[in-house]
A and B are shown apart, each in its own frame.
Chain A
Amino acid sequence: MAPEQPDLLAVAVRIAEMAGPAEQVEAYVARGTSTSVKAYGGEVESLTQAASAGVGVRVIVDHREGFAYAGTLDESAVLEALTEARDNAQFGEPDEFNALAEPDGTAAANLDLWPAGLEHVPTADKVAMALELERAATSRDERVRSVRVAMFADARGEGAVATSTGIRAWGRAGNCHLAVQALAVRNGETQIAAGLSVGREVGDLSVDEAADDAILRATRLLGATKPATQRITLVLEPRMTATILGLVGGMLNGGAVLKGRSPFAGRVGELIASPLLTFVDDPTDPRSLGAEIHDGEGLACRRNELVVKGVLQGFLQNSYTGRRSGTASTGSAQRGISSTPGVGAGALAVAPGVGTHDEVLGAIEHGLFVTSMAGLHSGVNPVSGDFSVGVEGLMVKGGELAEPIREATIASTLQRLLLDISAVGADLEWLPDGSGGVTLVVPDVALSGT
């Protein structure tokens, strides 16, 4: 095994073993390294090399929970975090379901998520890729002569969880990406759009893919105008679909259900979406950049079907919400070092439907192809389901992409959007955040413009 393993897990175990007879102690220890190179104007604008580490300690005593973290693995800071977490536990109120996770017998998936080659890539090569990306993005179309930034970035990290209840978990993963924000200019008008290429190893990345994607996205918006207010058929490109289903995934959080904040509470077994829609959270799928072996409490990640043919199958749970709801953890605890474990999806993806992107689009007589959404944090309410976001995109006429539009909004509720889906494409695309989307069609949505 890798040489890092004993170190980090040993740190976590040592803290967990400091638990007194009447208390439970959990240590989540993580460390990582990252590089980011930004190119601009043919030069390196910035080069950042960073290493960071930290520990989060959770203590449960008499069913009261306390937490503390430190952004370092220094011995004194680690011990201070344990002391603070113990002190903090006196102020939490008792909850009979408060307890740490315990080994549940689910075996960890055998996944290799470590980009072994990445650590041997010289910094000079990373710099060269960022510079080449800027060059590519600004030399292929006369309307695109500058970028806001062209970037190479990578991150590699490992994490360990140990508890006084017997959890021992360690994992590591890494990835890298190229990203460019291209500026397209014509007649005094400027449009900006991003192109991306992501992968685990540098060899998975494509400068051409990122550059061409940014150029296409920025240039096709030139001349965009505000559309008329109307009800319209939306064609969501895969990344828009993934974004919207990510919001839905948040509403299928067992914590939100228990606390009366999910409109899907009590609806397991019911049709909550079009029968065309199936979506699954499966962090054990190595195609997802969100793939992980263990969740934030050290339980094995697993495949969780959330909606199958439109029918709600269940909710995502961590050990607290699982215990309190009378089910069990689904291995869906999500956290960083600075917080207690929440609940969330790691690799939410839509099951591919029927038809290529062109085939799905070709069937639309009049619609709006949505390529970006703005204001998701201000216009989407995960409790009520109210959904209202700014959009850019292209009109669809007679099955073809037509003129660009901007400064418009689309509005509905997430519940309504799910039920109204009329086509699900087969063009599964994995996205940088670990989710997977397909082209999706939703008819009769309010488009607000002039």
Chain B
Amino acid sequence: MIDHDIIRQTLSIALRTGGDFAEIFVEDKASSNALFDDGKVENLSSGRDRGAGIRVIVGETTGFAHTADLSAAGLAEAAGAAGAAALSGGGGVQEIALTRQHAPRPNEIELLPEEVAKAHKVALLRRANDAARGAGGSITQVTARYGDSRRRILVANSDGLLTEDDQVRTLFTVMAVASGDTGMQTGYQSMGRTIGFELFDRFDVEDLAREAAERALLKLAARPAPSGTMPVVMGPGGGGVLFHEACGHGLEADLVAKGASVFAGRVGERVADPRITLVDDGTMAEEWGALAIDDEGSLGSRNVLIEDGILTDYMWDLLRSRQEGRPRSGNGRRQSYKHLPMVRMTNTYVLAGPDDPAQIVADTPSGVYVAHLGGGQVNTATGDFVFGMTEAYLIEDGKITEPIREGNLIGNGPAVLSTIDAVGHDFAMGSPGMCGKDGQGVPVGDGIPTMRVPALTIGGTA
């Protein structure tokens, strides 16, 4: 992507003011998006973002600058700005020998987005629209989106590391609106993988569109959600975001180090029911959060965070692992070259457990069954988290009965983890997600087996 002599020279300039560590992150991202709405292809758009972020670390201080100018002069200017920001006095000239490190990719890409005709991308949209509208006369509006991106990154640093990744992601989403006597309801469904256009050989956009439409239709007849605290059973895949919020963020080493996590100081302790093993895995082939390297050049890896209920480790980025003198975990990520990396999840999931999923529902006299979740949010200091249910039902006498309207559930991470009382032997990954933290969004995946939490608060009105 960029000449190695220029990289060495840029890193040397960055260290001139006495930095302990310098890094250059180069990104070249091409994306295309097509939008179908209100019965027609509204537009196709394409974008190109290319630039470099340079950081210099001196003691506890990080200086950072970025530039869209990848010439030697442009990089030198940014390196100077980053070095000045982390000014600590004269450092002199430092020679850096770069060693290329090969990063095995979780999976190969079969069909690069730029090799697929735009007409083929656009054609998927109408098929999705027609399928969604065909699901019922009450479907009054359909929005379908196609998106792809190819993000090539290079990371080099003053430790001599030089490594690259080529990340291709493809996403398709459908939102349907159904209208009836009770007003309008929406249904949303998406699929996304860290692969190319072969996504559409594996998944059918028409199935996806029908699922979105059926979710909207179902909610037209939905009852108001109950309010108060009750048992909640989460279906396989549908509830992964619960763990992302209930404990994932709280296991990010940057929040832990600042005492802003309820899980600080608890490694080695029992934090969850023994049936719970939680993993964050950047190497999970094709999943939405998959990567060969993180955005600091560390190899993606599979990290067990909670094993049989015991907290085993946090997730780490370069800064926190340097401070603690321990290995990185492949969790240093950033939205783009314009952002500083921080600790982020990749694909976070709970392994299958011992229980029969059907029996879990049958053993629940009354409660709520959540088949599909929306996003969520957590206050890591208290552990209180919310997540949205976008498809949920009442459980009455051990049976899944009527659909309920959407809303949030609220719970406390440590309390929920330690009280989970059933974990199914099924497992599924959930929908592709975009995780936001301090204003930066990164793609993440999640998954769970069927499981039951004996007491969660349902944010309904009934």
- Whole-angstrom CA separation of A90 from B122 in the bound complex: 11
A70 CB contact (under 8 Å) in B48, B376, B387: B48
Q: Could you tell me if A88 and B457 are in contact, using CB atoms closer than 8 angstroms?
A: no
Mask, A332-348, CB within 8 Å of B = 1, is 00000011100000000
- Whole-angstrom CA separation of A377 from B38 in the bound complex: 23
Q: Could you tell me if B141 and A261 are in contact, using CB atoms closer than 8 angstroms?
A: yes
B50 / chain A contacts, CB cutoff of 8 Å = 71-72, 77
B338 at the interface (CB under 8 A from A): yes
B405 at the interface (CB under 8 A from A): yes
Given A72-B50, A390-B410, A448-B228, A66 contacting B65 (CB threshold 8 A):
no
- Whole-angstrom CA separation of A338 from B43 in the bound complex: 13
- Whole-angstrom CA separation of A339 from B43 in the bound complex: 11
Q: Could you tell me if B228 and A450 are in contact, using CB atoms closer than 8 angstroms?
A: yes
A237 / chain B contacts, CB cutoff of 8 Å = none
Give the distance to chain B from A264, nearest Cβ to Cβ, in Å: 11
A379 / chain B contacts, CB cutoff of 8 Å = 374, 386, 388, 406-408, 459
Q: Could you tell me if A340 and B408 are in contact, using CB atoms closer than 8 angstroms?
A: no
- Whole-angstrom CA separation of A375 from B379 in the bound complex: 11
Q: Could you tell me if B408 and A375 are in contact, using CB atoms closer than 8 angstroms?
A: yes
Q: Could you tell me if A388 and B459 are in contact, using CB atoms closer than 8 angstroms?
A: yes
Output the nearest chain B residue to A65 by Cβ-Cβ distance.
B43
Output the nearest chain B residue to A44 by Cβ-Cβ distance.
B61
Q: Could you tell me if A185 and B44 are in contact, using CB atoms closer than 8 angstroms?
A: no
Mask, B73-85, CB within 8 Å of A = 1, is 0000000010001
- Whole-angstrom CA separation of A130 from B388 in the bound complex: 36
A44 / chain B contacts, CB cutoff of 8 Å = 60-61
Output the nearest chain A residue to B64 by Cβ-Cβ distance.
A48
B66 CB contact (under 8 Å) in A50, A374, A389: A50
A152 at the interface (CB under 8 A from B): no
Mask, B33-66, CB within 8 Å of A = 1, is 0100110111111111111000000011111111
- Whole-angstrom CA separation of A185 from B262 in the bound complex: 12
Give the distance to chain A from B303, nearest Cβ to Cβ, in Å: 23
Interface of A is mostly: strand
Interface residue tally on A, bucketed by range:
35 or more
Q: Could you tell me if B459 and A389 are in contact, using CB atoms closer than 8 angstroms?
A: yes
Q: How many residues of B contact A (CB 8 A)?
A: 79
Interface centre among B64, B81, B86, B410 (most CB of A within 10 A): B410
Q: Could you tell me if B375 and A388 are in contact, using CB atoms closer than 8 angstroms?
A: no
Q: Could you tell me if B140 and A93 are in contact, using CB atoms closer than 8 angstroms?
A: no
A25 at the interface (CB under 8 A from B): no
B259 at the interface (CB under 8 A from A): yes
CB-CB contacts below 8 Å: B369-398 with A: 373-377, 379-382, 384-388
B410 CB contact (under 8 Å) in A84, A185, A407: A407
CB-CB contacts below 8 Å: A431-450 with B: 446-450
Q: Could you tell me if B37 and A146 are in contact, using CB atoms closer than 8 angstroms?
A: no
Output the nearest chain A residue to B378 by Cβ-Cβ distance.
A374
- Whole-angstrom CA separation of A148 from B380 in the bound complex: 11
Give the distance to chain B from A35, nearest Cβ to Cβ, in Å: 9
- Whole-angstrom CA separation of A450 from B227 in the bound complex: 9
A409 at the interface (CB under 8 A from B): yes
CB-CB contacts below 8 Å: B220-237 with A: 225, 227-229
Mask, A377-398, CB within 8 Å of B = 1, is 1110101111011101000000
Output the nearest chain B residue to A80 by Cβ-Cβ distance.
B48
Q: Could you tell me if B60 and A409 are in contact, using CB atoms closer than 8 angstroms?
A: no
B61 CB contact (under 8 Å) in A47, A92, A407: A47
CB-CB contacts below 8 Å: A52-104 with B: 52-53, 65-72, 74, 77, 80-81, 84-85, 87-93, 95
Q: What are 7 A-B interface contacts by the 8 Å CB criterion?
A: A70-B49, A74-B68, A148-B260, A259-B37, A388-B460, A389-B408, A409-B457
Q: Which 9 residue pairs across A and B have the least CB separation, nearest first? A: A378-B388, A409-B459, A388-B407, A375-B386, A379-B408, A448-B227, A192-B381, A390-B386, A67-B45
- Listed in ascending order, the chain B residues whose CB lies under 8 Å from chain A are 34, 37-38, 40-51, 59-69, 81, 85-86, 118-119, 122, 140-141, 177, 179, 183-186, 219, 225, 227-229, 255, 258-260, 262, 338, 340, 373-377, 379-382, 384-388, 405-412, 457-461
4 more contacts with CB within 8 A, not counting A50-B338, A377-B374, A379-B407, are A40-B60, A46-B64, A388-B388, A448-B228
